[in-house]
Amino acid sequence: MYGILKNKLEDKTAKIGVIGLGYVGLPLAVAFAEEGFEVYGIDIGIKRVNSIKQGKSYILDVPSEKLEKLVSSGLLNATSNYRVVKKLDAIIICVPTPLGKTKEPDISFIVSAVDDIIKNRRKGQLYILESTTYPGTTEEILLPKFKKGSYRIDRDFFLAFSPERVDPSNRIYTTNNIPKVVGGVTKKSTMAAKLLYNNIVDEVIDVSSSKVAEMAKLLENTFRSVNIGLVNELALMCEKLHVNVWEVINAAKTKPFGFMPFYPGPGIGGHCINIDPLYLSWKARLHGFESRFIELADGINSGMPQYVVRRVIRALNERGKSVKGSRVAVLGASYKKDVDDMRESPSLEIMRLLSEEGAAVSYCDPYVSSLKMDGKVVTSSILKRDFLKKQDCVILATDHDAFEYPMIKDNAKLIFDTRNAFADRDLAGKNIMAL
């Protein structure tokens, strides 16, 4: 079976399936299709499937022109029906892995996808999990499922884990030039996964097991979470000491070794940095180990929206205004600049907290046309002079490049810049308050 799969992967006759067509799955499917593979994207979201069929991209990193060309050529197909699995040679799972209400891992989307694969599978297929999860998931959860019905690893199927490393809106590092880590549950599975990704990625790094690959992904994001937590705490400390934290960081990063700059902000959003470390700490607790760094960083980072709101309330009080009844506009609803992804965005928590305090809250975001706030659908306000002049305070929560920063500075009464965006653009003023 391995020899047949190897030949198909090398001569590009293998049919590739990608389950989950979000920020990870769709760019991955496009990358394989661009290399000449026949690709089938599977997603339970009918709107996504129909959008792909029409050649209309909903992911900013995938231009509609490119998508339409691949779809019309027949290289890229989309469906919500798992029966297509029967014709596939390699299947990559890219479904969400959120946290439950008690901050425990929720791998139900993975389990559901695997169950649907098994109902439609055939022998000789390669299965790869890309969804971020706790160490041991591939070997302890997926492998027993795929072995049911007398299926044997290396004879009837191959199984590996390869962590996604997508950075939305990054124009330098993309699917093709970000090194890919792969770890199979067996050596042959690792080799098969490496052969697959060699077709679209410049460098593929194989490790000894799927558990190592799973752990490597969590280390990457835990490293970021802990360091962001450190610099967020430094920002709180610097405010008490009346020191500009941004100047401190800029001075420290001039050291050519032993220091890597991280920057404070209103909180951490997205699916990775604020969630992945908790997968690791949860798994560690099962083995009697308390990961104190992870828990401390999570506490600091989770508390940043409250800190932002406290600073706004204090600033309004100093100007003789109560937060209750004040007009407050939040600039940027997505979790990072130049994307439309609102998952776990600190902006949403900031708006919720301000609304609870009685403020009249609005928001502006060129990438997010509407969102739900207090159970109601709210639309993005147009960022113009008249709008800004009516606000008692403007919070820059996400530093989109599309914002007209000089115009904002000249027309807003009070600006709380949580991203140092105005200073970075050499814009200063008595109305600008830095994090």
Q: Is 219 within the bounds of a domain? A: no
Compute and round to an integer the Cα radius of gyration of the chain: 24
CATH number at residue 336: 3.40.50.720
35 part of a folded domain: yes
Phi, psi of 378 (to 5 degrees): -115, 135
Q: Does residue 146 lie within any of the structural domains?
A: yes
254 and 142 in a common domain: no
Contact 279, 105 (CB under 8 A): yes
Do residues 282 and 430 share a domain? yes
Query: Do 195 and 246 lie in a common domain?
Result: no
Q: Are residues 116 and 240 in the same domain?
A: no
Domains held by the chain: number: 2
Among residues 94, 238, 272, 393, the one annotated as catalytic is 272
Q: Tens digit of pLDDT per residue, the chain (435 long)?
A: 788 999 999 999 999 999 999 999 999 999 999 999 999 999 999 999 999 999 999 998 899 999 999 999 999 999 999 999 999 999 999 999 988 777 788 999 999 999 999 999 999 999 999 999 999 999 999 999 999 988 999 999 999 999 999 888 888 999 999 999 999 999 999 999 999 999 999 999 999 999 999 999 999 999 999 999 999 999 999 999 999 999 999 999 999 999 999 999 999 988 788 788 888 898 888 899 989 999 999 999 999 999 999 999 999 999 999 999 999 999 999 999 999 999 899 999 999 999 999 999 999 999 999 998 878 899 999 999 999 999 999 999 999 999 999 999 999 999 999 999 999 999 999 999 999
C-alpha closest to that of 89 among 11, 164, 182 = 11
Would you say the C-alpha torsion 414, 419, 420, 424 has a positive or negative sign? negative
- The parent domain of residue 250 ranges over 230-434
Are 131 and 241 contained in the same domain?
no
Residue 213: inside a domain, yes or no?
no
For 2-39, the DSSP string reads HHHHHHHHHHT--EEEEE--STTHHHHHHHHHHTT-EE
Active-site residue, 94 included: no
- The pLDDT of residue 187 is 97
242 and 287 housed in the same domain: yes
Q: Residues 191, 274: one domain? A: no
Instruction: Give me 247's structure tokens.
Output: 């100047």
- Nearest Cα to 304, choosing from 408, 249, 228, 380? 228
354 touches 311 (CB < 8 A): no
Determine, yes or no, domain membership for 225: no
Q: Are residues 194 and 258 in the same domain?
A: no
pLDDT of residue 372: 87
| Residues 319, 275 contacting (CB under 8 angstroms) | no
Q: Helices 304-318 and 346-356, interaxial angle, to 10°?
A: 50
Q: Tell me, yes or no, whether 142 lies in a domain.
A: yes
